[in-house]
Structure 1
């Protein structure tokens, strides 16, 4: 009897380990430097063949200025006849990343315009947007211990803090959506939980929603601009299915007055591209907007540092537990 119980427990343990490893492997690729890609497509949330799109690699920028470790988190604005692409720029000799700028007339050939924002703390995720004829940027500013809003005095330059939207709050990749009837910010904490905040106006009183946790677990960190269509909002979310930076899924957010629902719309829209060197380790960011009758997207990805894989047992166990908890919360409570 004891042997049978032991055998059953052994089989059960092996099964659990196999499931955990299948969902989030214990061995993950060793990611290296990040680069940026961009191109047009005909539908959302689908991207064109990445092979046909253009790539602005960290190597290309390194050749120009000789001081680039990686470039990532691209956001863009199409203003008049130009594309303005803002990105996280980690320089080799700087401890903190800054916000850089690329510009283009056709969305295909970009020129580096330099650093547009530098602080005493790390900056990334430079979500730029135009609102009521003014230009704003909501970057990740965890190092300041606040969620800071910047305004351009002379777009695309002259960025200065104009408001603290959330004081004493550290959010990873805060992502904002503004309309006449809805104003929301989502962002993640260090415990793999995505929080939702609402306000009556951009520079108003941002407070936690009555249902503050949107999701948690392996897909709980925003990964780009919120896109609105007739069916609601589409939110890119980073996926940790093969470790940080390995993929990106798209979720549907629907609001009915103050209540909302969330469900996955597209699993792993972005993931590693084995035949593209710059993106063969993974992808984790997307900003797609409608330009005329087409969709223009900017995204990032990183390349393999080497062929060896890194062992990590904590993250797969933790994230699988959080995923199970999140599934129960989404399906049994709401």
Structure 2
């Protein structure tokens, strides 16, 4: 009987050590977020934040002293100006959408708030479609995925459609074209869903293969990037707590179905050499500007302190879902 009990205890310790090695029970306490950005002549197969510029939370606080953090950057380049939209969280307020602009892609100026609602907003994916500018932010608290249109870009955003009703989804990432219209969005149970439509203003419905990813990498972390092989989507990794890292996944759609492949594990992650990003990184937007230039923006957060908080339920839940996903797929 004692050997049996000892064996169970020993096995339990091994399982706990294995779980802790993947998703630590003691996790970092992340704080203020900042934005980094850079440019390259080829699609960035690797990004070194040490070589790029940073628009820090301190810089924004100097212009708006109620700032708590800036995160979730998406950019649009229109004519000679870079427009960088971001989640702007202020003291005792919901998140809204803020704007930075630059004429050289290096020096950004804060232009204030461009969209605020009675509910929390984040993840402001702005894109140009048929000569008009649209935004699909995270609007989970509104119980819908909402589409906004700029009446006078980059300001005056109004709701023009509801893409998905009666659902609470995080970080919707949309891709629209003449041949493919898809959107990824995640729930609170670590499932990433695939929606499709005939057009941006068509009826968005779940794909016949509705769940693309589950577990610790199942939440979008940026815009789709299209190349000759298909689509690349940044996916958040939460193995060491929310916002720790980011991997790249290849999505390939063909004949009404699709496949996924993890092509760049931890493309971005906590960087101990950069104080603004020493807790984690979780957002990336890469776009091709012209034949010879790619521009990208990303975010990251810093450690509040060297202390860690204990989280028992999270690692157990994440590993259970990861294991189930691995067995079923």
Q: Which residue of 2 aligns with 1:158?
A: 156
Q: Does the 8 Å CA contact 1:74/1:300 hold for their aligned counterparts?
A: yes
Q: Does the 8 Å CA contact 1:234/1:253 hold for their aligned counterparts?
A: yes
Choose 48-57 or 130-139, whichever is displaced more: 48-57
**1:51-200 counterparts in 2 under 5 A?**
51-92=50-91, 94-200=92-198
Q: Does the 8 Å CA contact 1:41/1:47 hold for their aligned counterparts?
A: no
**1:148-297 counterparts in 2 under 5 A?**
148-292=146-290, 293-297=292-296
Choose 40-49 or 174-183, whichever is displaced more: 40-49
3-state DSSP class of the match of 2:67?
A: coil
By how many angstroms is 1:45 displaced? Answer: 4.8
Mind listing any 5+ residue stretches in structure 2 that lack a counterpart?
A: none
CA distance in 2, matches of 1:282, 1:48: 14
CA distance in 1, matches of 2:61, 2:170: 27
**1:21-32 counterparts in 2 under 5 A?**
21-32=20-31
Q: Deviations over 1:273-329 (max 9, x none)?
A: 101111000000000111221221111000000110111010100000000111122
Q: Deviations over 1:7-48 (max 9, x none)?
A: 332222111111101111101110001111111134435343
Q: What is the alpha-carbon root mean square deviation over aligned residues?
A: 1.1
CA distance in 1, matches of 2:43, 2:328: 29
By how many angstroms is 1:234 displaced? Answer: 0.6
Q: Does the 8 Å CA contact 2:47/2:268 hold for their aligned counterparts?
A: no
Q: Does the 8 Å CA contact 1:227/1:288 hold for their aligned counterparts?
A: yes
| TM-score, with structure 1 as normaliser | 0.96
By how many angstroms is 1:85 displaced? Answer: 0.2
3-state DSSP class of the match of 1:69?
A: strand
CA distance in 2, matches of 1:204, 1:236: 25
By how many angstroms is 1:4 displaced? Answer: 3.4
Aligned length: 328
User: Are 2:30 and 1:9 equivalent residues in the alignment?
Assistant: no
By how many angstroms is 1:178 displaced? Answer: 1.0
